[in-house]
Structure 1
Amino acid sequence: MGTLDQTQQMTQAPGFIAALDQSGGSTPKALKGYGVSEDAYGSEAEMFDLIHGMRARIAQAPAFTGAKVIGAILFEQTMDREIAGMATGDYLWQERGVVPFLKVDKGLEDEAEGARLMKPNPGLDATLEKAASKGMFGTKMRSVIDAANPAGIAANVAQQFEIGKQIIGHGLMPIIEPEVTISIPDKAEAEAILLGEIAAQLDALTGDQKVMLKLTLPSVANHYAPLIAHPRVMRVVALSGGYTRDEANAHLAQNAGMIASFSRALAEGLSAAQSDDEFNATIAGSIDSIHQASVAG
């Protein structure tokens, strides 16, 4: 599974994971935040060219290195493209010391029992073979919890681990992401149920199977400490989930052993109109603050 250096970096290195994996549905919003309105592109192809330009600019910023950014999650198109004349995954690891992951889910089903499971993904094995051939260390897949409904949460976590085992079978490290929506009134209750379901699934893993977890910043600080300590867990990372960067960093700093995996909160303040010096200074400030919050615990 990756190189020994990559495994060691993802297990032990201080730092955080950059989530650069907005796909078709979320790209217009990401571009808008970057100061590129929808009338700036006339097709999906042009839209993806623009978002790749933004991602390449982030990846080439002087501060974007494994010293603080230990990994990055990519959209499949980003993996298939190049940065500075190199395949994106090779560029990230060989030039920047950043371990690459691939987003592999195909979006969400409609809500049922307070949860939104992942859509069927019949081409997953082929995608995983390609990811391994392109130097990806692991994968990420997201589903959503919208209520403290035990049946919905159990189904959500069971699906994540079932597909996670398929991913492990390809020699890749799955990042399992059952996101709890931050605005729901019963968030703490949902997180209590989620903790139990994840722990049960971890205890059922066999052989040398391990996973990473990407979880919403919990309502109760250190709620996920048992998962961070679990021998089947390589790392627990946090999603920003709609919090501003300052809010997300403040929550993260209260959770020992949990590190960031932020997307929108990482890109906050970046603009297509910035000069390279302005852009690089802004991303450096973002990286520094998220890194500090990630190592605070």
Structure 2
Amino acid sequence: MSQEQINKMHSQKGFIAALDQSGGSTPKALKAYGIDEDQYETEEEMFDLVQEMRARIITSPAFSSEKIIGAILFEATMERKIEGKYTADFLLEKGILPFLKVDSGLAEVENNVQLMKPMDHLTELLNRANGHHIFGTKMRSNILGYDEKGIHDVVVQQFDYAKQIISAGLIPIIEPEVNIHVENKEKIEALLKKEIIFQLSQLDENQNVMLKLTIPTIAGNYSELMVHPRVVRVVALSGGYSRDEANAKLKENKGLIASFSRALSQDLRVDQSEKEFDQTIAEAIDSIYIASIT
């Protein structure tokens, strides 16, 4: 990670492509792409198929640093190659900063939230991430209702792990997702912002993070976070919204840029010709880019 890369992430127009489906969500991603579970038998075969899909996206002419600043990878994607190069190196050669999903999934619901499962192997994973020239990381929690203790615990856990990631020389993306269907979403987001601001105030000038948040109910709710000196960038997840819905909501929040997964790949299919595939991904990228810079 260099200062030039940090400046790029802080200031460049564009968005982050989330390509980080893990073992739990990969079957759904493959099914949406047109590959059913009866077309593979082992987890290794499954990840080989999703790597082919990821490689098809990443090698598309439309997937360029002109509109895409970074891409989030799953561990299995980081360890695989595209055109003879490890995925992160391939992205870096295209001018796109690679991130790695580092969490081990979600714990059971308690206090209306799902904390992250303990990351017992985080140190070893961060060492490998550095070996693969990863720029930053991403880790996700889930907020399912208004609960002061639950929301507090989510933010504290995220920042505790973030400090370890920073110590390893990487930029952590903190993602305390608020489910888009919850009651009192506006109230949850107000408390979440308050908890995040407090944790940011505990960081020193050499500890910087990124934030990945659900698009807020009240437009501009996270503007204060965007200008905080400890925040490199604030990005938004699509959270189950269709691409059109997510783009429309994103446009209402000046300075907030996308980090979409399903909304990016929703129209891609395995049986599309290369021309059809490239046209489809180009249209998706263009629309998300426009929403991110509006």
TM-score in terms of structure 2 length: 0.99
Amino acid at match of 1:100: P
Q: Using the alignment, how far apart are the partners of 2:113 and 2:182 within structure 1?
A: 12
Aligned to 1:264: 262
Q: Map of 1:1-297 to 2, 5 A cutoff?
A: 2-94=1-93, 96-296=94-294
Q: Using the alignment, how far apart are the partners of 1:179 and 1:236 within structure 2?
A: 13
CA contact (8 A) 2:205 2:230 kept: no
Q: What secondary structure sits across from 1:285 in the alignment?
A: helix
Count of aligned residue pairs for this structure pair: 294
1:126-171 deviation per Cα after TM superposition (whole angstroms, max 9, x unaligned): 1001101110000000001111111100000000000000000000
Alpha-carbon offset, residue 186 of structure 1: 1.4
Alpha-carbon offset, residue 4 of structure 1: 3.3
Alpha-carbon offset, residue 251 of structure 1: 0.4
Q: Using the alignment, how far apart are the partners of 1:200 and 1:148 within structure 2?
A: 18
Q: Using the alignment, how far apart are the partners of 2:291 and 2:270 within structure 1?
A: 27
Q: Using the alignment, how far apart are the partners of 1:8 and 1:85 within structure 2?
A: 29
Alpha-carbon offset, residue 82 of structure 1: 0.3
Structure 2 residues without counterparts, runs of 5 or longer: none
Give the fraction of aligned pairs with identical amino acids, expressed as a percent: 55
Q: What secondary structure sits across from 1:262 in the alignment?
A: coil
Q: Deviating runs (4+, > 6 A) in structure 1?
A: none
Alpha-carbon offset, residue 44 of structure 1: 1.2
Alpha-carbon offset, residue 3 of structure 1: 2.6
Amino acid at match of 2:43: E
Q: Using the alignment, how far apart are the partners of 1:97 and 1:277 within structure 2?
A: 24
Amino acid at match of 1:29: K
Q: What secondary structure sits across from 1:24 in the alignment?
A: coil
Give the superposed CA RMSD.
0.7
Alpha-carbon offset, residue 97 of structure 1: 1.0
Structure 1 residues without counterparts, runs of 5 or longer: none
Q: Using the alignment, how far apart are the partners of 1:215 and 1:72 within structure 2?
A: 16
1:230-260 deviation per Cα after TM superposition (whole angstroms, max 9, x unaligned): 1110000000000000000000010011100
Q: Using the alignment, how far apart are the partners of 2:45 and 2:131 within structure 1?
A: 27
1:72-108 deviation per Cα after TM superposition (whole angstroms, max 9, x unaligned): 00000100110011011100011x2110000000000
Q: Using the alignment, how far apart are the partners of 1:139 and 1:229 within structure 2?
A: 21
Amino acid at match of 2:68: V
Amino acid at match of 1:90: D
Alpha-carbon offset, residue 42 of structure 1: 1.5
Q: Using the alignment, how far apart are the partners of 2:217 and 2:205 within structure 1?
A: 33
Amino acid at match of 1:286: A
Alpha-carbon offset, residue 5 of structure 1: 3.1
Alpha-carbon offset, residue 207 of structure 1: 3.2
TM-score in terms of structure 1 length: 0.98
Amino acid at match of 2:71: A
1:179-228 deviation per Cα after TM superposition (whole angstroms, max 9, x unaligned): 00000111111101101000000011113111000000000001001101
